[in-house]
Structure 1
């Protein structure tokens, strides 16, 4: 192998980092005793499920099971961080005369466990910072483990490096400055270095994708590539300059791997030369430098219609910027009470339940919050009770599979079999009148998500048997629309999600605080589904009148008036204080701006809101389309998984799903 080939081989290398190690610590017993003494034994029973899950998650971090994949380790860390945020106020309230909870963490790059640092008594900032570090580290390992010789592998690696960079950016901006006695891997300078490093590696993989992009004129493509090469160079340069110029950082890096600095120097030198060459290529001929015998060694990989690229196209369908317009940040109480897929639950008596992080969904919900009758209420008359749209049965599986066999091959169809099966199943499930309203909502959300995956293959002009979507007018069932247009299907699903949320709101038990909160959040979510409908698919659906922009806006306009007519819950003084606190709740940020400090469950919910909002921002990016949710397709709790480059249905979810379908669920559909 010559020197040029050796240099190119080194440049293909992507760096990842190990996880931090920690000593065991018992959390359940001291925190439960604290709740019982500070509040009451009844309050301790209400939150003990969260405390048990908190303890289990930390034990799995300290003594990781051998059967845990990298995505499962990520799930554990995410679950633990939410639980930790729920008890943060509780931990910081431990008095100095009580037994302290001391967290001890070691430098990630020092395997001998020397120079470990402990928190100051019950300070929780070190613990949260270490968990964020490990979330970034595990995402870097996921990225490095992806097969970057395939388009799908490069795409997944790029997204994982982006998320890793986001975690270290959060650590750099919000945590590192307060960790005065932290280990070297948590210092302000080093976490900034890790942020720049993983941003550079994500950008490098993004650059390789851009080289495949044939959109626009040749000059426009060249201009984009020149800017991209410059951006990658700048990121690597910033990362490199943070290390050699600081003696402590340089000694730290040299202590675990002296090749890191050399590797970064190679990257900087290489991309600087590439950036200059690309820049010169877009200059007018009179201003270009003399020709050099140098050609770009950053190679693109053409996306042909092979098995790997088809899977990539479907994954990109859920990751596109346009698709992310459908992503709804659902309201707090809708998911905490009714979602079958949210592992944190609020029960009717105020009890908080946290299902173990490794328990597969769906989880039981507390439909008792919903009222079985609205005979005493005229609220439904305000909207005329919007019915759900009906559709004709459709064998989506056969139609789509035939297309992939014809367009590609039988092996390609086998690789996406799981997605096609799930689509067919969800389309049948979403029309079942015997399912509860919450379960139908979850089914519709999943179906919309997977519709976005197949959208890029429409219109299926090459198919002899394209799917024909038939939907009836919700207001006038005599009118219907029959189209091959997938936007009709998506618009109808969005309409039903909005309608279903109004049904949930009107079926709530308004005599309880939780029922009132749930109704308010359900209407907020309904409004957002209808807004998404008018902003996107309604204009391209050209379907029935009920999907017109004018009609949807008329419905959306009435929702605030309906909310104002909700009867106030019949509650005692303490519940009234909680309601007053809830009125300051900001549904856009999941944050309770005020809450009742005398209620331990309110404090836990506040912590959950903050953690959920922060993690969503870090995992998806400041803008929802910057880091798309394709990494969830690697998770063990996703109904559709990427396994060996295939899209497969998650077999671990089949048993609980089947059991749930056979349950006698409370029917809450309004009559």
Structure 2
């Protein structure tokens, strides 16, 4: 795959860390370690605020074979059948491990390297429970796995306190992979063109992601790993503060630029806010600087890598400290202010066309909490989502699609049954009138901005229109419709800042019908009606998936529970959106969303009681009858305006039949190797979701339906071509089958 230019690059140097050196003389390096006294004159400041950002190189490792030792272990500890079930995971694990030194490959972009590391970390977390047995093996055991990692800053430095960086401890491997993921994020951030609004935004999110990664290393991994210096608590904390400082600096410059454009730089409140922000950035740089100089070994280590780092950190800390004092003093009445001039200079940001792209990208980031459920719904994605490379196959096997192959990945429908479940209510979907979004949105951008601005986001507008046309197609399966609706909702979050389009000659009119009473509809220019309707349909669709699950299988139960939890997420989000769209149909009202959440709460508890589980799980089940939850939902459905609207539906009768039900616990034995693997996957997904995967950086990836390329939002031609090819193959297969029957 050719190297992508999706990230706005400062230059094409293959080693971003080395290209960011600050040219200073040897005598310019401030050595403030108390053990090495220096004069004040030895710390010159030729550039009060260097614009360049620091990045770090990745760690490198010696090759190691993972497949055969782990497969042999699974076969011995469990069975040959279990080994066959997880074969795909072990093969992918081995492939990703062989690509671990992928920084030397010129055909991989930084986003692709990021994807590989994330993929490998998830696989590694899945097999983690196996390493307890491997580590306890004697050294002569051929299945014993040894990891060997070199220091990122000094490849010749291979031990710490006479302890080698050669270990069978999987925590060393996970820590090294996280370090490399943080390093790749730092290189993405340093590569972005921060003179543009979009480039600055990407850099901020990349540096924040790097900071989160090193926070995890600092708090959770470094204390358990005795290896090279770069993996110590001191270095992890230092890098956390460094990248937090760089993200905060760029964010501050963006704020200053926004204030300048809004003519809001003169207020005392704004000046106070700026002074506090400058002081905060100074503290972060100062903390990183002090940590390096607090340990002579760390200082020497950084000097061997790049002496200018210490100068850079000192200059940054000093500059932002001085600037904070000046801005704080400027709040004093003019007659009492000291005669000082500001040293800060904002990067010139190109507005109009490029800022439109930035606004749309920022829209998806600010609304990411709406489409990312807080719970880890791993079974729903592992079986039904075409964007998840990890799958549970029909025969119970865990399979993995290659990390470098874009979706869609094949889904399995084995958990879906032809008959609906008796204890899960399937809600109807809302219907909408057809609408062309492309022309009105493009015309509005031309009117408000320019033709060039509209061209920069054409790919997004085209994808948006295709998704809206496709989301109500009758030939979509439940999983495909879910993926389509989620993708469309993400696109809506991106264009939300464009609304209300009050100055547009032809704003789009959204028309949606009541799901419970199709004769009633709502017609608005308000995008919140569109978002609320999509949220309702996502929730309703998840109830249909849950009701369609084959509850004679454990997998069917798990997917059903996950689908109900996701439905609850969509309806909780709908409650927040309902207040933004006045004069909506009653199915989108706050009261209706609240009632549906109560129904789902009852059904989730009902499913958990009926789901076969170990006896130890008894303590996590509700301590009161499930019928109480159904009774609460029934009270809401039979009061106020909802009672009349739901009278012709099955909801009241369904809830009434559930109010006197009795439940019993079905117990089963402990899980198998698949359960252990999925538990590890869930932990990895949870760890990486906490600030370590910013939504906007997904737009740089080859697997995103809409991509950022050369500062534009474009439709991913690779994915589109793949989908067309799969569609043609499907049609051909159907044609062949028809011919054979005839």
**Is 1:165–2:231 an aligned residue pair?**
no
TM-score of the superposed pair, with normalisation by structure 1: 0.89
CA contact (8 A) 1:194 1:239 kept: yes
Per-residue CA deviations over 1:105-132 (Å, capped at 9, x if unaligned) read 0010125576598556521111011001
Structure 2 distance, partners of 1:577, 1:174, is: 30
1:612 aligned residue (685, 692, 701): 685
1:512-591 maps to which residues of 2 (within 5 A)? 512-566=553-607, 576=612
Question: Secondary structure in 2 aligned to 1:634?
Answer: coil
Structure 2 distance, partners of 1:323, 1:70, is: 23
**Is 1:34–2:79 an aligned residue pair?**
no
CA contact (8 A) 1:513 1:579 kept: no
CA contact (8 A) 1:338 1:366 kept: yes
Structure 1 distance, partners of 2:565, 2:533, is: 19
Aligned to 1:275: 324
Aligned to 1:316: 362
Per-residue CA deviations over 1:274-307 (Å, capped at 9, x if unaligned) read 0100111224568x5x522322323264663x21
Per-residue CA deviations over 1:185-240 (Å, capped at 9, x if unaligned) read 11221121111111110100010111133477822221211110010011011111
Aligned to 2:530: 489
CA contact (8 A) 1:473 1:544 kept: yes
2:341 aligned residue (291, 294, 315): 294
**Is 1:20–2:59 an aligned residue pair?**
yes
Structure 2 distance, partners of 1:582, 1:109, is: 50
**Is 1:141–2:187 an aligned residue pair?**
yes
1:658 aligned residue (710, 724, 728): 724
Structure 1 distance, partners of 2:696, 2:427, is: 34
**Is 1:78–2:118 an aligned residue pair?**
yes
Structure 1 distance, partners of 2:498, 2:697, is: 21
Aligned to 1:361: 407
Q: Give, in angstroms, the shift of residue 324 of structure 1.
A: 3.1
Per-residue CA deviations over 1:608-663 (Å, capped at 9, x if unaligned) read 0100000101415xxxxxxx411111111111111110001111111332245554
Change in Cα spacing, 1:278 to 1:300, as seen in structure 2 (3 Å) is farther
Question: Secondary structure in 1 aligned to 2:258?
Answer: coil
**Is 1:511–2:577 an aligned residue pair?**
no
Aligned to 2:243: 198
Question: Secondary structure in 1 aligned to 2:271?
Answer: helix
Structure 2 distance, partners of 1:323, 1:34, is: 41
Per-residue CA deviations over 1:514-572 (Å, capped at 9, x if unaligned) read 001111111111111101100224543532111111122222222233345559889xx
1:209-224 maps to which residues of 2 (within 5 A)? 209-214=254-259, 218-224=267-273
Per-residue CA deviations over 1:118-164 (Å, capped at 9, x if unaligned) read 55652111101100100110000000000111111111101100010
Question: Secondary structure in 2 aligned to 1:471?
Answer: strand
Structure 2 distance, partners of 1:582, 1:82, is: 29
Change in Cα spacing, 1:567 to 1:251, as seen in structure 2 (3 Å) is closer
Q: RMSD between aligned alpha carbons? A: 2.8
**Is 1:246–2:312 an aligned residue pair?**
no
CA contact (8 A) 1:539 1:549 kept: no
Aligned to 1:590: none
CA contact (8 A) 1:146 1:154 kept: yes
Structure 2 distance, partners of 1:76, 1:110, is: 24
**Is 1:339–2:412 an aligned residue pair?**
no
CA contact (8 A) 2:565 2:604 kept: no
Per-residue CA deviations over 1:347-399 (Å, capped at 9, x if unaligned) read 2332111111111111111111000223xx5446xx4x421001111111111
Change in Cα spacing, 1:111 to 1:323, as seen in structure 2 (3 Å) is closer
Change in Cα spacing, 1:300 to 1:258, as seen in structure 2 (3 Å) is closer
Aligned to 2:109: 69
Change in Cα spacing, 1:585 to 1:317, as seen in structure 2 (3 Å) is farther
Q: Give, in angstroms, the shift of residue 65 of structure 1.
A: 3.2
CA contact (8 A) 1:513 1:569 kept: no
Aligned to 2:148: 104
Structure 2 distance, partners of 1:53, 1:582, is: 36
Question: Secondary structure in 1 aligned to 2:193?
Answer: coil
CA contact (8 A) 1:340 1:362 kept: yes
Question: Secondary structure in 1 aligned to 2:522?
Answer: strand
Structure 1 distance, partners of 2:167, 2:294, is: 35
Give unpaired runs (5+ residues) of structure 2. 1-22, 29-44, 623-666, 735-742
Structure 2 distance, partners of 1:554, 1:61, is: 50
Aligned to 2:252: 207
CA contact (8 A) 2:127 2:677 kept: yes
CA contact (8 A) 2:148 2:166 kept: no
Aligned to 1:623: none
Structure 2 distance, partners of 1:405, 1:335, is: 39
1:36-55 maps to which residues of 2 (within 5 A)? 36-55=75-94
Aligned to 1:479: 520
2:315 aligned residue (266, 272, 284): 266
1:631 aligned residue (688, 697, 703): 697
Structure 2 distance, partners of 1:634, 1:431, is: 29
CA contact (8 A) 2:48 2:319 kept: no
Q: Which has the larger radius of gyration?
A: 2
Question: Secondary structure in 2 aligned to 1:619?
Answer: coil
Q: Give, in angstroms, the shift of residue 405 of structure 1.
A: 2.0
CA contact (8 A) 1:318 1:324 kept: no
Structure 1 distance, partners of 2:495, 2:468, is: 14
Aligned length: 635
Structure 2 distance, partners of 1:141, 1:34, is: 38
Question: Secondary structure in 1 aligned to 2:338?
Answer: coil
Q: Give, in angstroms, the shift of residue 453 of structure 1.
A: 0.5
Q: Give, in angstroms, the shift of residue 312 of structure 1.
A: 0.6
Per-residue CA deviations over 1:60-99 (Å, capped at 9, x if unaligned) read 1135532100000000000000000000111221242332
**Is 1:176–2:222 an aligned residue pair?**
yes
Aligned to 1:625: none
TM-score of the superposed pair, with normalisation by structure 2: 0.81
Which of 164-173 and 459-468 deviates more?
459-468
Per-residue CA deviations over 1:239-278 (Å, capped at 9, x if unaligned) read 1111223211110111011111111111111111101001
Q: Give, in angstroms, the shift of residue 598 of structure 1.
A: 5.7
Which of 36-45 and 594-603 deviates more?
594-603
